[in-house]
Chain A
């Protein structure tokens, strides 16, 4: 077998717990993995149903022609963001680097194998979006057989370019940051800036122009040409059966990948060597040592952990970063122009009652607690051989999440308060509900990580990105915010009652979760 494929095989065995499921003799491990598997399949089914619904909606709006490019944009944006978030641990700084590099395999094969592992997960997502939407498109447009040849070929091509763009940006950030003493913090700042830029750009693209519905198709096509040419080529290839456009689309997708592997393989060892060689001064002199309580020393250690790993920071904290960006952007939004465009009056009054749950939606997008136990990895013998109760360890991990989440949440509530000019009751909700969700989400993440731990990782990004605990925690968190938001949207003037009930229910569940954590005794290593 090709060496690149052999390297890929080893990585894939670690994905989604496939090998563990096959060979583990522990029934509990198998049950957990089965549960996660069922959850993931349900999510996929939901996504497919949503894509079919959205495509049918576009057909009814007589916008059949924009289905191919719009679906390509969806796939590319998601692939771009998610690949970028894990780009740090995929190519650089993984724990088995020494072992892999000592094998008689070229750097190009190693890079290709690691890119392929990312490609496969993104390909699955692309297939779930493109196949159902293209079935709807083909039926509605009466597409010829040749279109299907293009569709199947494009399935393989679509994820390539966004993956390569994300990897290039990730590689540049890594190469730039390693020059600094606090390279991780530089990397975190640059990565946050990039993710915000991607989100802002894609938002601008989707609201390209202020046009009427009938003109949307043309204006969208124009916007695509200028902002993401591959989508324009893809749309033209399918809508007009143009093989020339398809040829361009293929070339734009494949060429950068080949060039990237070629160039990176020349500098690969150099970048990784720089990452692994740390500044060591060997000039320490013992001086006054500060004393902390066990709790604070544990929290400080958690903070060091967070700042040492850009992948951890970005995945756990992206929701909060987005919340802050959105809240600041809100100051510059002129609601009166929206009212004129949509023909609705008093948008301000209608929206402000839902603002607390809207903020909470950002809060539940991630938490440090949902993967913080995973990140103990092989070092977990340290906390569990120390003379402290498990609750102390949980409290320190929850404490970090509270410490980094509460201040930005309060600032966002304050910004919302000024923008919406809320009354007394609305202001109370605006501050109380998001804070309750911060506590709820921190505890939920902790419990999910206890129930679905993943300690056997070779790269931190596996502990963060491929963690069932993060997936389960985010899904449950989103459900608990979306359900009351949906109910309050349909309950009209009684929305404030829903808010009150939300406070009661979420607080009660949070207290129950805390009691559950308090009652955990002994070690929680699962050995």
Chain B
């Protein structure tokens, strides 16, 4: 049996004051999966995602990326992961190309690879012409595109995205979906949160629904959805649970 790309085991995160943001959460994302993570505002999606990418410490349980513990081997795990936050707060004083070079240097990407990938993804997302401008001059969508290109630079094993489609124009959203599928075909896995249930339903082969920090449903999209729509299932489980 192959090692899952992402394995979340009994994850619990308690905030100051005792509130459990994530409560004993278990999840497995395999290579080739496009895993949608849905839930209401404040359900615990972003907390889980931030714990997975190693920017937030957690209280109980553990997270494994390609079999390596995020707690014990954080650097190795981060080198296999790419993270795209919901609100791309970037270094506004850098130009787009300076930011991409910065990320490429940190991940140790060769000259040929970085040039080829920036050309490819910059072209697809129609951002190449703007790469010489300061990030402060970018719109929200352009910043989102820049973070996407930076995430694809090192061909991550696990791509974690928090609300990736917010702010993207339809063409960019179309290309993003294609790039996501392409990455999965190459053996990577994608774990992303979204409020856009239509996208989740069409794009994801697996879905997890979280409510009040607890996983209330997870599995293949067609099993979760059954004969109904994902929206109907989501409304039913999130109200009834």
Closest-by-CB residue of A relative to B131 is A284
Which of the 9-residue segments A248-256, A293-301, A353-361, A503-511 touches chain B? A293-301
**B10 CB–A CB distance under 8 Å:** no
**B222 CB–A CB distance under 8 Å:** no
Interchain Cβ contacts within 8 Å, total number:
127
The CA-CA distance from A292 to B114 in the complex, in Å, is 13
Give min CB distance, A248 to chain B, whole Å.
46
- Report whether B93 and A377 are in contact in the complex, using a CB–CB cutoff of 8 Å: no
Contact residue among A27, A286, A301, A388 (Cβ-Cβ distance under 8 Å from B118) = A286
**B56 CB–A CB distance under 8 Å:** yes
- Report whether B91 and A382 are in contact in the complex, using a CB–CB cutoff of 8 Å: yes
Contact residue among A278, A280, A387 (Cβ-Cβ distance under 8 Å from B106) = A387
- In residues 96-150 of chain B, which contact A (Cβ within 8 Å)? 96-98, 101-108, 110-111, 114-115, 118-119, 122, 128-134, 136-137
Interface membership of chain A positions 259-299, coded 1 if the CB is closer than 8 angstroms to chain B and 0 otherwise: 00000000000000000011111111110111111101110
List, in ascending order, chain A residues with CB within 8 A of B130's CB.
280, 282, 284
The CA-CA distance from A381 to B53 in the complex, in Å, is 10
The CA-CA distance from A304 to B97 in the complex, in Å, is 14
The CA-CA distance from A387 to B75 in the complex, in Å, is 4
- In residues 48-107 of chain B, which contact A (Cβ within 8 Å)? 50, 53-57, 74-79, 81, 83, 85, 87, 89-91, 93-94, 96-98, 101-107
Give min CB distance, A376 to chain B, whole Å.
9
Closest-by-CB residue of B relative to A293 is B105
- Report whether A527 and B57 are in contact in the complex, using a CB–CB cutoff of 8 Å: yes
The CA-CA distance from A167 to B177 in the complex, in Å, is 51
The CA-CA distance from A292 to B104 in the complex, in Å, is 9
**A26 CB–B CB distance under 8 Å:** yes
Closest-by-CB residue of A relative to B100 is A289
The CA-CA distance from A279 to B132 in the complex, in Å, is 11
Closest-by-CB residue of A relative to B109 is A291
- In residues 23-56 of chain A, which contact B (Cβ within 8 Å)? 24-27
Give min CB distance, A1 to chain B, whole Å.
30
Give min CB distance, A374 to chain B, whole Å.
14
Total number of B residues with any Cβ neighbor in A under 8 Å? 50
- Report whether A284 and B128 are in contact in the complex, using a CB–CB cutoff of 8 Å: yes
Closest-by-CB residue of A relative to B17 is A25
The CA-CA distance from A385 to B83 in the complex, in Å, is 7
**A384 CB–B CB distance under 8 Å:** yes
- Report whether A294 and B118 are in contact in the complex, using a CB–CB cutoff of 8 Å: no
- Report whether A382 and B133 are in contact in the complex, using a CB–CB cutoff of 8 Å: no
- Report whether A291 and B118 are in contact in the complex, using a CB–CB cutoff of 8 Å: no
Give min CB distance, B214 to chain A, whole Å.
21
Total number of A residues with any Cβ neighbor in B under 8 Å? 46
Closest-by-CB residue of A relative to B110 is A291
- Report whether B91 and A305 are in contact in the complex, using a CB–CB cutoff of 8 Å: yes
Q: A25-B17, A278-B134, A279-B137 are in contact. Are A286 and B91 (CB under 8 A)?
A: no
Q: In the complex, which of the residues B16, B106, B114, B128 has the most CB atoms of chain A within 10 Å of its own CB atom?
A: B106
Closest-by-CB residue of A relative to B76 is A387
Closest-by-CB residue of A relative to B19 is A25
- Report whether A25 and B134 are in contact in the complex, using a CB–CB cutoff of 8 Å: no
Q: In the complex, which of the residues A280, A381, A389 has the most CB atoms of chain B within 10 Å of its own CB atom?
A: A381
List, in ascending order, chain A residues with CB within 8 A of B104's CB.
289, 291
- Report whether A523 and B91 are in contact in the complex, using a CB–CB cutoff of 8 Å: no
List, in ascending order, chain A residues with CB within 8 A of B53's CB.
385
- Report whether A291 and B75 are in contact in the complex, using a CB–CB cutoff of 8 Å: no
List, in ascending order, chain B residues with CB within 8 A of A26's CB.
16
Q: A283-B132, A304-B91, A382-B91 are in contact. Are A388 and B17 (CB under 8 A)?
A: no
List, in ascending order, chain A residues with CB within 8 A of B83's CB.
381, 385
**A525 CB–B CB distance under 8 Å:** yes
Q: A289-B115, A379-B90 are in contact. Are A386 and B78 (CB under 8 A)?
A: yes
Give min CB distance, A279 to chain B, whole Å.
7
- In residues 2-48 of chain B, which contact A (Cβ within 8 Å)? 16-17
The CA-CA distance from A301 to B17 in the complex, in Å, is 37
Give min CB distance, B187 to chain A, whole Å.
19
- In residues 288-323 of chain A, which contact B (Cβ within 8 Å)? 288-294, 296-298, 300-301, 304-305, 307-309
4 tightest A-B CB contacts, nearest first: A284-B132, A308-B93, A387-B79, A297-B105
A/B interface sample: 27 pairs, CB < 8 A: A24-B16, A278-B134, A278-B136, A282-B130, A282-B133, A283-B132, A285-B128, A286-B115, A286-B131, A288-B115, A289-B111, A289-B114, A291-B104, A291-B110, A291-B111, A300-B102, A378-B87, A379-B90, A379-B91, A384-B54, A385-B78, A385-B83, A387-B76, A523-B56, A523-B57, A527-B50, A527-B55
* Given A27-B16, A284-B132, A305-B91: 12 more A-B contacts, CB < 8 Å: A26-B16, A283-B129, A286-B97, A297-B105, A304-B94, A381-B55, A384-B55, A385-B53, A385-B81, A386-B78, A386-B103, A522-B74
